Amino acid sequence: MMSDDDLVRFARVVSFLLGWTYFFCWSISFYPQPLENWRRRSTAGVAVDWPLANLPAFAAYTISTSVFLYSPSIRSQYAFRHPQAPRPTVELNDLAFAAHAFMVSVIYYSQFWPSLWGFKSGSGRNATKPTLGVVWGSLFGAFIVALVILIKGRDFGNDAAGWAWIDEIYALSYVKLIITVVKYMPQIWLNYKDKSTVGWSIVQVMLDFIGAILSLLQLFIDSALEGDWSGVTGNPVKFMLGNLGVVFNIIFITQHCILYRHAKDIEIEGNTDEQRPLLGANGHTHNANS
């Protein structure tokens, strides 16, 4: 029989392995779509909202995770507000994932600029107005929180009993969360409108799905090790990101494997990729530049 100490050590090893495994899955998930775009020499079938929204989202997430990991002031404020579980459930793999995702998203978004890659862009390089509205609105909200802390915070925002800088870090975390909710929707709508997932990488979806599940498992194990489930509420963004990843990717899997499984990307001899028609699940064709 394993002793309690052995169980704790085992759980920490499992948490470590889960963390770096989901980091691997989520990080690798950013590559299949750019590679698919490269193979097709086209971004037709892919909504630009996804990579464009990822830029501010992962910039904010990189800042928030790095501060939770390395700022003594923020960590002490967290401990004050969560005395039963004073250690933030943010791991090094969270920061590594966020920074890596931002860098890859820059390359991914650049593929929607024909002058850089020469790819045919199906949706252009500008996101939809709702997506842009949410992105700018969430960033403005984070700015307002910073102003409130400067005006109403005690000890210049260093007293966790009132408005403190940890609230700004939470605000940046929620920027990532809010944008994540929005960035999935244009792609779901585009797939529905075209009755096709042609151009949208299912490999990316599956890796994202697996990563979301593993992220949640790590969060639950870390909270159990701390002896208080406030470790989940103390890191609401990681918890919600995992759940969103599960829900939205189930929708994508349903679209690809069930609803529009018969849609095909048809190449006609002599056509350029820009002229390649897409065949939706309803049997109708539409051009890649439609």
Q: What is the pLDDT of residues 133-174, one digit of tens each?
A: 999 999 999 999 999 999 988 888 888 888 999 999 989 988
Q: What is the pTM of this model?
A: 0.76
Q: What is the average pLDDT across 54-65?
A: 92
Look up tokens 């065949």; give the residue: 279
**Confidence band, pLDDT 50/70/90 cuts, at residue 10:** confident
Residue 123 pLDDT greater than 70, yes or no? no
120 strand-pairing partners: 42
Q: What is the pLDDT of residues 217-270, one digit of tens each?
A: 888 887 777 666 665 666 677 778 788 889 999 999 999 999 998 876 544 333
Q: Residue 13 pLDDT > 50, yes or no?
A: yes
Domain ranges of the chain: 4-287
Above 80 in pLDDT, residue 6?
no
Q: Report which of 99, 105, 69, 96 is spatially closest to residue 235, judged by C-alpha positions.
A: 69
pLDDT, residue 139, reads: 93
Confidence of residue 30 (pLDDT cuts 50, 70, 90): very high
User: How far is it, in rounded angstroms, from Cα 66 to Cα 74?
Assistant: 11
Is 289 a residue whose pLDDT tops 60? no
pLDDT beyond 60 at 115: yes
Q: Is 270 exposed, middle or buried (0-12, 13-18, 19+ CB in 10 A)?
A: exposed
Strands of the 285-287 sheet, one edge to the other: 264-265, 277-279, 285-287
Q: Where residue 7 falls among pLDDT bands split at 50, 70, 90?
A: confident
